[in-house]
Amino acid sequence: QQPVQSPQAVILREGEDAVINCSSSKALYSVHWYRQKHGEAPVFLMILLKGGEQKGHEKISASFNEKKQQSSLYLTASQLSYSGTYFCGTEDSYGGSQGNLIFGKGTKLSVKP
């Protein structure tokens, strides 16, 4: 039931773009995205609800393809502060996870000067 994130890790130079994918085998009601810096708490970035919406947060945006049961996080013109591990959390449409979020294993993003 755990969503699958890809890639597992990515290294960027400042200013480069990246895409992180989150795929589920279940029909989804919502997808959350969080960023966690080493040893710190995950920080909420955005939530996408079924309906195929796309959301933006500064230079970080995301899409949710309900039919494909997947979400993608887009990081544009990356900055050093974008470094961290990105997690997606999914909620099943049919209550399979009791309405709670199931998190992927994370994608480690490193932005170099």
Instruction: Taking the CA atoms of 61, 5, 45 and 99 in sequence, report the sign of the dihedral they define.
Output: positive
d(CA 69, CA 51): 11
Stretch that binds another protein, among 17-25, 34-42, 58-66, 69-77 (CB under 8 A): 34-42
Owner of token pair 């708490």: 41
The window from 15-23, 51-59, 75-83, 91-99 that contacts another protein (CB under 8 A) reads 91-99
Number of residues that bind another protein (CB under 8 A): 27
Residues that bind another protein (CB under 8 A): 2, 29-30, 32, 34, 39-47, 49, 87, 89, 91, 98-106
